[in-house]
Structure 1
Amino acid sequence: MGAFNGLLLSIYFAINAKKKIFTNYFLSLLLLVLSIRIIKSVFFYFNPNLSNIFIQIGLSACVLIGPFLFLYLKTYSEDEKPSWTKHVIPYLTILTILGFFYPYVEHRTIWSTWIIKAISAQWMIYIVLSFKSIHPVIQKIKGKENLRKIDIWVLSIYLGVTLIWLAYTTSAYTSYIAGALSFTFILYVNVLLLIFRASNGINFFQEKEKYKNKEIDEKTLELIGQKLSIIVEKELFLHPNFTLEEAAKELKVSKHLLSQYLNEILGKSFSNLIREYRVEKAKKLLETENNYTIESLGYDSGFSSKSTFFTAFKKTTGMTPAEYQKSYLK
């Protein structure tokens, strides 16, 4: 059922891709190779005598899971379409050569000992490379910002594929639980798709496309740049739970426009901007206040905990708050 639903989803997104939602081509292909891998696992589990050619096809499909995950997520994090040929063609060439000279049916030992391990390592490398694309979503979660539907979607795809890789990698110790996880992932994607499509009648798959194609005019750019100083002047960032929505309301601009300005013009997320403001405030307090604990100065700067204060300060300045204060006093 999971594999069948995965194939249906693959067809669905391929059709959507015809509507110029380019990223859906990669999503369709990702679900296709996942489904082929699941089909192989299901048949092998219930029929160990499965023809070796099907096993080879299923294992070979794993080679393309990582690249298609990477390409799909990358199209959401960057404006330019990634060069898919260098991530797909070389692997298809290698698979063709291996399948011809070292078919699974005649070289099971080589496949089991070396090729499967290489496939797993390659899949893992692409999972690591793909993390950069969802890092902004992680930052939003850390900054307690509201997530868009597309943020939830891409994070779910990333985590789902990662869990499936982990399950297959450890299947020797988990009684092949990967099949159940794969089915659960496909089912979850189905439910998520139905919920998002039904809510407000918005096609959330087009969110990124619309965001990319909407440019901010020069007058608006200048206006937002001037208004940003209000956050510093009023020290709104001192509120630990200060959100993007509250900032947009204070600056009298839309939340979407403010977010787009920060990402495209300043090259940072709202949480990163607020963190920078808080670190600057903390530096001033460390330079002038000697009768208070460093932890209390962190709270006075808008940080919600000692750990977040120390981590943010060290990341921004390269020194701990104590080291900074000591160097300044010298």
Structure 2
Amino acid sequence: MDLDRQLLFLVSALGAFNGIILSVYLFLSKKRRSVASFFLGLLLLAFSIRVAKSVFLYFNPGLPKICLQIGLSACFLIGPSLYYFFKAVLLKSTGIPNSWKWSWGIQLGALVLVGMLFPYQTRPDVWNNIIVYVIYLQWPCYLVATGFLLKPVLKTLFVNPSVLSDTEKFWLILFLGNCLIFLAYLLAFFRVVHGIYISGGICFTFMLFLTVFFSLSGAGFENNGKPERKKIAETDASIWLDKLEKVIRDKALYKDPNLKLNDLAQHINISMHQLSQLLNDNLGKSFSTYINEYRIAEACKLITTNERLTFEAIGYEVGYNSKSTFYAAFRKIKDMTPALYKESIGAA
């Protein structure tokens, strides 16, 4: 083996080995223990096994068939691990929902069943002609789904990358690194580019060390439950606030009872974390307070102009799901009940 090949082997094998070590750390560390860290550990473990298989196969084509089966089986877990890592991060999950358990149970059950019925040792034709195509179809589906989860962050990358926090930069490195590794393996599988197969392992090694850096620096998937905050420039804040007021008034978004922070953020092409920071730092309000002010202002207008509507009907009209929620918000904003407000309007 010449020096260049030795270096390729060393770099790729080092990434695979360190990936396994880091995944075990994420599984066992009490400091990092969370739903997100579990899925990140699973992602690194699956990648490490897949890369190790690629490295040893590249330098030793006579690798035992069982190693090939294990490597391809691990590849089947990469897409789901990435997707559920980001779901856990964005939803700040403290437990694994039953729907996630069912999804993983079905996929793992199918993977084990197929491996038992069609072992690579005796049925390489099934693996090479069917299963591998299923894997290379499933993986990009999860990449696309993950891309939709990160849509606000991806938009920020192209619109105003300077406001990205370290946490969001880590997310982008992890996601785009996965896309690059998938592309390398896909091009190698279809023999589009000769010699690109080993580049998947090299890309993983690079992504792994960046993961270690962000993990040790406290950014990425866990930062006391809060992403790192970076002060929003005054010019950006002014532009975003103007966009926010325009879109929420023109489209009457506050009337949607299911409106979420992320939904509103997407309308002005920023991430939910940036919108939350914008509201808190620049307006001194939480998301719920901001929306309630619009709703109660609209409710006051209806109380004044439409005497036929009941208070309950007005509450539903402006975006509340129940009478009690409407009354509580009204009292908090106006320091009186809707009835007292109507009386005060009449007395005036």
Is TM-score (shorter-chain normalized) higher than 0.5?
A: yes
CA distance in 2, matches of 1:60, 1:162: 19
Alpha-carbon distance, 1:247 to partner: 7.0
With the length of structure 2 as denominator, give the TM-score of the two structures: 0.58
CA distance in 2, matches of 1:266, 1:94: 34
1:38/1:264 Cα in 2 relative to 1: closer, same or farther (>3 Å)? Answer: same
1:238-263 deviations in Å (ceiling 9; x for gaps): x9x93138879xxxxxxxxxxxxxx9
Residues 53 and 105, structure 1, Cα contact 8 Å, conserved in 2: yes
CA distance in 2, matches of 1:266, 1:69: 20
Question: Which one of 194, 197, 213 corresponds to residue 175 of structure 1?
Answer: 194
Match of 1:140 in 2: 156
Ranges in structure 1 where 5+ consecutive residues have no aligned partner = 212-238, 249-262, 275-330
Match of 1:34 in 2: 47
Question: Which one of 161, 176, 185 corresponds to residue 204 of structure 2?
Answer: 185
SS in 2 for 1:56: helix
1:2/1:15 Cα in 2 relative to 1: closer, same or farther (>3 Å)? Answer: same
CA distance in 1, matches of 2:136, 2:78: 10
Deviates more, 1:265-274 or 1:97-106: 265-274
SS in 2 for 1:77: helix
Alpha-carbon distance, 1:16 to partner: 4.0
Residues 244 and 270, structure 1, Cα contact 8 Å, conserved in 2: no
Q: Does 1:244 align with 2:237?
A: yes
Q: 1:142-157 to 2 correspondence within 5 Å?
A: 142-144=158-160, 146-157=163-174
Match of 1:164 in 2: 181
1:247/1:94 Cα in 2 relative to 1: closer, same or farther (>3 Å)? Answer: closer
Deviates more, 1:123-132 or 1:15-24: 15-24
CA distance in 1, matches of 2:176, 2:80: 15
Q: 1:173-322 to 2 correspondence within 5 Å?
A: 173-191=192-210, 193-194=212-213, 197-198=216-217, 202-203=218-219, 205-207=221-223, 209-210=225-226, 242-244=235-237, 265=261, 267-269=263-265, 272=268
Ranges in structure 2 where 5+ consecutive residues have no aligned partner = 1-13, 228-232, 242-258, 271-348
CA distance in 1, matches of 2:142, 2:21: 25
Alpha-carbon distance, 1:189 to partner: 3.2
1:38/1:73 Cα in 2 relative to 1: closer, same or farther (>3 Å)? Answer: same
Question: Which one of 70, 85, 100 corresponds to residue 101 of structure 2?
Answer: 85
The letter of the residue matching 1:154 is W
1:8-32 deviations in Å (ceiling 9; x for gaps): 2212322346544320100000000
Match of 2:143 in 1: 127
1:89-121 deviations in Å (ceiling 9; x for gaps): 112211222112111111111211111001110
The letter of the residue matching 1:22 is V
1:192/1:102 Cα in 2 relative to 1: closer, same or farther (>3 Å)? Answer: closer
CA distance in 2, matches of 1:42, 1:156: 23
Q: Does 1:55 align with 2:68?
A: yes
> How many residues of Structure 1 are paired with residues of Structure 2 in the alignment?
230
CA distance in 2, matches of 1:181, 1:146: 30
SS in 2 for 1:84: helix
CA distance in 2, matches of 1:163, 1:29: 19
With the length of structure 1 as denominator, give the TM-score of the two structures: 0.61
Residues 17 and 24, structure 1, Cα contact 8 Å, conserved in 2: no
1:200-223 deviations in Å (ceiling 9; x for gaps): xx5554237236xxxxxxxxxxxx
CA distance in 1, matches of 2:262, 2:211: 32
Max Rg structure: 2
Using CA pairs under 8 Å that are at least 6 residues apart, name the structure with larger relative contact order, 1 or 2: 2
